[in-house]
Structure formats: structure tokens, C-alpha cells
């Protein structure tokens, strides 16, 4: 049966002695490949052929043991050297070990050579494995230290979940030194400035030995706010026991602050657009307000006259007049309140609303504009529409903008063909329910090459447009986690539609 292979480099001046050394190793069960050298140059060349072990005679005419050991140490992968001699004493043998040999064997006791070679090869393999593990550990430590994200290793075996280690990025991210963090509970940073709901979810995941991923707000050591995206992954040992968690923190503060600035910018642009819309509707609104106010005057005068001649059926007529006054006053108040809400500048505030109510309020505000432009409005509402969670004023602004675009798109259309169709529907998509509002016109349409740029800021297809309306519409809809698009109709005109997630989804 073929045993393990041992590649021997024998430094010996006598051929017959080299043969004896090789046979002694073979008798221990090795299959050998061997080479004999006698000079320093031959030794250097043979070492490049990567032998497993060097067997060196202590007394050679042209080489000393120190020469041999020095040459072996220069090799990139130091090899075990076993000294073999017939004239070596105990003191000299001990000196060879001190110089760097791993063992020595007397030539009259060559039965020890096979076990010595086996032991040397095992120790060499063990040393190489240790060196590989140390190099791998150094590489991992370097990688751990160079990761841009903050990394924390957590002890999963303790109820306190202490921190075992962290990388420099985590120290820099939160302002703590590594020696201040080691041993502290992973949750020690959960001060009043943190997101306690997210912390509770993260704690529950760790207690349950589960993974976690989510956004968590913290305070740095200096008290400043930091927004992070956290991913936590449990790890088991070879026996399957949960021993560690690895938590990776990504600083998303800049992105969150940029998003907040963008949101404030959108609010400012939206307010500007609403003021612009009110300006454009001013003359029509004056007419709309004048009608109910004039009616109020007439009905008030009628009521006063009837009151002075109060007899029998006149009471009923007075009641009708007073009800007319109330109705017209309510109409005027609704128009004014709609204007007030549109003009008011405020932060977005979401509430549960019915989209069909917003559409009706919008149509009432724009009624004079429709009559002035001889536009017929057709509304179709699906029954039982779910509510949406949205900012009422912002959604109304989107609807006004889309309807006004539809009206303006038909300025060259014959009056009898001017029609805006508005629909409110519920659709299911990706296992979620959406409310979809569509606004269609019978106008001149939009060329295909312009469709892709409709929602870009400062891009406009109008002669006097500034290119903000649709861009603001998109920003508002996306702020509400919805989508907006435009499609060319099969016959004439286009249809704009936006969808918002139904409440409870």
C-alpha cells in the first residue's frame, strides 16, 4: 500500500549514505522523492523545487551546518531541517537545535529517522496552518477596519447583549472609542433622542435570534442627530448554537437631510404654484362670489318686504327666501374657504380623505373657468372607493393642475367638442389597493417625442409656461408614495392619471 509522499532533500557527500537515509524513511511507510546535494549552489537550486524536509549531514567537506540553516532560512517557506551524523555528541546535538534544526538522529540509530521525519512534517504543516490562519485573520482585521459602514459584533449568549468588537467606522460614526464600547450593552445608546419604536423592533428581533433591517434614528455622543440604516444578522458556531450578531450601520443622515430639503423645496414650489393658480382664477372667482352675494342682497330685501306684510302664506314665502339666503351664503363661504386652504402656506399634513370629495370641491372652485372656456365636464366615480391618507390641499393642487392643463389643451378645439372626463377608480396592483384619478381631454395631444420629458422641471410644451406644474405634481404624488403618468388617447387628446395607496394598505 502506498504511503504518504515525502520529498527529501539530502545534504550528504556520500551517495551510499544518502541511499541509507532514504531507505530509513521509506521503512517508516513513506513513499519518497529524494535529491542529494553537496554544495551551497546545489542546495539553493534544490530549495526552489520545494522539498518537504531537509536531511543534513553534520560534517561535510564543503558545507557547515550554519551554512545550510542560513540558506534554508532565506527560503520564502522555511523547511524543517533534521541533522544526521555519526560523530555528534549530546552537547553538539543540543547546539544544532539551538541553531534552528528541528531534530537530530545518529547514523547508527536510523530507525528513529522515519518517526523524526513524520513529526517534523506534522509540525511544519501545523506551523503553515497557523501562519495561514494568522494571515487570514490579519486580512479580515484589515477588511473589518477598512469597511466604510459601522460594524458591531454582539454577544448573543448574554441577556445584556454586550458589544464584543466594533470597527473604526463605527467609532467615528457615533463618537465613542472602541475601549468605551467593549462590554457595554448594544442598546446603551437608546437615549431619549432615539427612535424607540425601531429600537423595540430591533430588540425583539435580537431576543428572537432573528435578522433585522430598518431605519433607526440615534444620537451621537455629542448629542447631534444621526440617521442610520441598520442590518443585523445572527451567526452560529459549528454546533449550530447562536453565538454572535453582526450589526452593520450605514449613515444615511446626508440622504435624509437632502430629502427633507427637497420636501421643503417642493412645499415652497407648490405654494408658489397655488398662488399662481389663484391669480389666474381671480377674475372668475370675483364673478363667482358676486353672484351669491347679489343673491343674498335680493333675498334679504325680499325677506324684509315680506316681514313687513306678514299674513298667512307670506310666512312660507319668507321661509323660502331665508333658505335661499342660507344656501347662497353657504356657497360663497365654500368658495372662500377653498381659496383660503389653497393660499395658506403650511407643512404637509396627512389625514384620511375621500378622493371624490376633493374632486367635487375642485370642480366647484373651477366652475366659472369651465363656463368661461365652454368646457363640458364629465365625472365618473366608482362606488365604494376606499379612503386615502394624504394632504388634502396638495392632492387638490394636483387635480387643479391636471384639469387646467386639460382645459388649456382644448383652446383650439371646437367648443361643442371641448370635454374633460374625470374618473375615480380602485385598482389592485402588486397585492395592494390603489385609488386612481384620471383626467382626459379632447385637445391637440402631445407629440410622442415630448412624452418622456413632461414631468421634468422647467420643461414645458406651453408657449408661456414655466415648466413647474407637472414637476410639482410628480413631486407631490411621489411624496405620497404614489405614481403619475400620461398616455396618448386612441382618438384625440391625452389622459393624465395618478394613483395613491388606499388607506390601510
Domain spanning 254-347 has what CATH number?
A: 1.10.287
If you average pLDDT over residues 240-251, what whole number do you get? 88
Yes or no: is domain 349-505 CATH 3.30.1330.20?
no
For residue range 179-201, list pLDDT tens digits in order. 998 998 888 877 655 667 788 88
Q: Find the range with the poorest average confidence among 153-157, 217-221, 227-231, 280-284.
A: 280-284
CATH of 147-251, one of 3.30.450.20, 3.30.1370.60, 3.40.190.10, 3.50.40.10: 3.30.450.20
pLDDT digits (tens, 9 = 90+) for 322-337: 666 666 666 565 555 5
Distances (CA, A) of 276 to 264, 281, 343, 363: 18, 9, 10, 18
Q: Do domains 5-142 and 147-251 have the same CATH topology?
A: no
Angle subtended by helix axes 469-479 and 392-408, to nearest 10:
150
Domain boundaries, the chain: 5-142, 147-251, 254-347, 349-505
Q: Are 34 and 59 in contact (CB under 8 A)?
A: no
Residue 368 has pLDDT above 80, yes or no: no
Mean pLDDT, the chain, whole residue set? 81
C-alpha span between 414 and 359 (Å, rounded):
26
pLDDT at 1 > cutoff 50: no
CA distance 123 to 144: 31
Does the pLDDT value for residue 499 go beyond 90? yes
Do 6 and 26 contact (CB within 8 A), yes or no?
A: no
Class of the domain covering 5-142: alpha beta
pTM of the model: 0.41
How far from 354 is each of 62, 149, 161, 306, 379, CA to CA, in Å? 102, 44, 48, 42, 15
Distances 177 to 144, 168, 174 between C-alpha atoms, Å: 16, 8, 9
For the stretch 468-494, pLDDT in tens is 678 888 888 988 889 999 999 988 999
Amino acid at each position: 500500500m502506498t504511503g504518504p509522499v515525502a520529498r527529501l532533500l539530502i545534504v550528504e557527500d556520500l551517495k551510499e549514505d544518502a541511499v541509507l537515509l532514504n531507505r530509513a524513511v521509506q521503512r517508516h511507510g513513506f513513499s519518497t522523492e529524494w535529491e542529494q546535494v553537496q554544495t551551497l549552489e546545489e542546495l539553493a537550486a534544490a530549495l526552489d523545487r520545494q522539498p518537504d524536509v531537509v536531511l543534513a549531514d553534520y560534517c561535510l567537506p564543503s558545507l557547515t551546518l550554519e551554512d545550510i540553516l542560513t540558506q534554508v532560512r532565506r527560503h520564502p517557506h522555511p523547511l524543517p531541517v533534521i541533522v544526521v551524523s555519526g560523530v555528534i555528541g549530546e552537547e553538539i546535538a543540543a547546539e544544532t537545535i539551538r541553531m534552528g534544526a528541528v531534530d537530530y538522529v545518529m547514523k547508527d540509530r536510523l530507525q528513529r529517522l522515519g518517526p523524526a521525519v513524520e513529526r517534523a512534517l506534522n509540525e511544519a504543516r501545523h506551523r503553515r496552518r497557523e501562519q495561514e490562519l494568522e494571515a487570514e485573520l490579519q486580512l479580515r482585521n484589515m477588511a473589518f477596519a477598512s469597511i466604510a459602514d459601522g460594524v458591531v459584533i454582539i454577544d448573543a449568549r448574554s441577556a445584556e447583549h454586550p458589544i464584543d468588537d466594533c470597527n473604526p467606522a463605527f467609532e467615528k460614526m457615533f463618537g465613542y472609542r472602541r475601549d468605551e464600547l467593549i462590554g457595554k450593552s448594544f442598546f446603551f445608546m437608546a437615549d431619549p433622542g432615539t427612535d424607540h419604536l425601531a429600537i423595540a423592533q430591533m430588540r425583539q428581533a435580537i431576543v428572537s435570534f432573528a435578522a433585522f433591517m430598518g431605519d433607526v434614528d440615534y444620537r451621537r455622543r455629542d448629542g447631534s442627530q444621526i440617521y442610520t440604516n441598520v442590518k443585523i444578522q445572527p451567526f452560529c458556531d459549528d454546533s449550530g448554537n447562536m453565538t454572535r450578531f453582526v450589526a452593520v450601520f450605514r449613515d444615511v443622515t446626508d440622504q435624509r437631510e437632502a430629502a427633507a430639503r427637497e420636501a421643503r423645496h417642493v412645499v415652497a414650489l407648490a405654494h408658489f404654484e397655488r398662488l399662481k393658480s389663484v391669480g389666474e382664477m381671480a377674475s372668475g372667482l370675483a364673478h363667482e362670489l358676486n353672484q351669491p352675494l347679489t343673491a343674498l342682497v335680493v333675498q334679504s330685501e325680499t325677506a324684509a318686504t315680506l316681514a313687513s306684510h306678514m299674513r298667512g302664506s307670506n310666512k312660507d314665502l319668507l321661509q323660502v327666501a331665508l333658505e335661499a339666503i342660507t344656501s347662497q351664503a353657504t356657497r360663497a363661504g365654500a368658495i372662500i374657504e377653498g381659496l383660503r386652504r389653497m393660499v395658506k402656506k403650511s407643512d404637509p399634513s396627512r389625514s384620511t380623505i375621500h378622493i371624490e370629495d376633493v374632486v367635487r370641491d375642485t370642480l366647484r372652485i373651477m366652475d366659472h373657468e369651465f363656463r368661461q372656456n365652454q368646457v363640458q365636464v364629465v365625472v365618473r366615480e366608482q362606488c365604494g372607493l376606499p379612503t386615502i391618507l394624504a394632504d388634502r390641499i396638495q392632492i387638490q393642487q394636483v387635480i387643479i393642475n391636471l384639469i387646467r392643463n386639460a382645459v388649456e389643451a382644448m383652446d383650439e378645439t371646437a367648443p361643442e367638442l371641448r370635454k374633460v372626463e374625470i374618473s375615480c377608480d380602485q385598482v389592485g396592483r402588486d397585492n395592494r389597493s390603489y385609488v386612481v384619478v384620471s383626467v382626459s381631454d379632447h385637445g391637440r395631444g402631445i407629440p410622442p417625442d415630448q412624452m418622456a420629458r413632461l414631468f421634468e422641471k422647467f420643461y414645458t410644451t406651453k408657449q408661456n409656461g414655466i415648466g413647474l406644474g407637472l414637476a410639482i405634481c410628480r413631486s407631490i404624488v411621489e411624496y405620497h408614495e404614489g405614481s403619475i403618468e400620461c398616455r396618448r388617447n386612441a382618438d384625440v387628446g391625452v389622459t393624465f392619471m395618478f394613483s395613491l395607496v388606499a388607506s390601510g394598505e
